[in-house]
Amino acid sequence: MTQPESDRAAVVFDERLTDYDFGPSHPMAPVRVKLTMRLAEELGVLDHLDIVGASACTEDQLAEVHTPQYIEKVLKLSKHPTHADPSIGLGTEDNPLFAGMHEASSLIAGASAEAARLVWTGERRRAINVSGGLHHAMPGRASGFCIYNDVAVGIRWLLDHGATKIVYIDVDAHHGDGVQAMFYHDPRVLTISLHESPQTLFPGTGYSTEIGAKGAEGSAVNVPLPPGTSDAGWLRAFHAVVPAIVREFGPEIIVSQHGCDSHMDDPLTNLMLSVDGQRASYLAVRDLADEVTGGKWIATGGGGYAVIDVVPRAWAHLLSIVSGRELDPQVATPEHWRAEVERLRGQPAPARMTDGRRAAFRPWEEGYDPASWLDRSINATRTEVFPLLGLDPLY
């Protein structure tokens, strides 16, 4: 019997999404998305996902979250990439200009809007835009490799089409500052970010005291993690904060960003997760969506700069979990895929879908250690936010 479309999950993907390319020396290399999709295909993951094409956002759609002046400047610089405008973050080391920048960025935003539409209308039960997750872009400024904020575009689409309670969960090593800023005054959108401490990592925001603007107190939740936090600490923090808040808020849909730059091998960050810990985080978000939203879940990619050893494996796991047929971590990476990596990048590829780690943690309920930086951070977040949502931070 053929499975109804509404019971299936989708990946919004188009080869043109890899045109978002800052150049060969930039850490955000589009090959990470190409290798992810090839690995997922060879492992059979895409057999359980409908591939849906992407369409670019219109300027009016982008203007729902970005200023018209900023969009106009992106358009102009996209056509004339020899000029720069550091005042809006374009033409900098982080965000170099490239021809077609507007088109590539608006296509990624359109892919996240399409993922939102597919799930909200019930056409698919889950959807993912693995090329998305550009969470640093601000209303009038590019930031942190992000030109247009596709996540915010997707959330705005949901609000415009009737959603009244949305939870956004960001597990990137960097604070989800752009998405938080765009909805900081909106109590309908609860943003949750677990990230490396702003004391040690860009963008320098995401303290536990950032809780939402007046009238929307409790709509922003931040868990800053000490550098060196590994699987056990990360998962302890997540489960000490996120499930209780999501259950209490009661969203209609969950939108998530899954930057995998929290990995121990990532060259830009200082967290120490394994692929196995990251996989456990994806399962935790999925389980919350199944429990609280009836399974309505939109996932995106994000950061991740170990483009061979980490990103393809992490996001192939994410794609498989979205599909409902998660991969066995012990499975070998396909020989043909490893040969392709060697040809493209001149380096060996990982042989298995696991780092050989066990994603276990000590639950918060078993005790709080005030001598631990991690536990102090968790406790600070619970103390700041739990009472605003009617929760007791002590339990």
- Which positions are catalytic? 136
Question: What DSSP designation does 193 have?
Answer: E
The residues, any chain, with a CB within 8 Å of residue 343's CB and separated by 6 or more, are none
At 65, which amino acid appears? V
Own/partner contacts of 362-365, CB < 8 Å, gap of 24 or more, are: 362/232, 362/236, 363/236, 363/239, 363/240, 364/236, 364/239, 364/240
Give CA 6 to chain center in angstroms. Answer: 24
In 3D, which of 160, 208, 137, 141 has the Cα closest to residue 61?
A: 160
> Tokens 């374009």 identify what position?
90
Helix (H, G, I), strand (E, B) or coil at 106: helix
Tokens (6 digits) for 56? 């670019």
Tokens (6 digits) for 235? 């998962």
Burial of 7 (0-12, 13-18, 19+ CB in 10 A): exposed
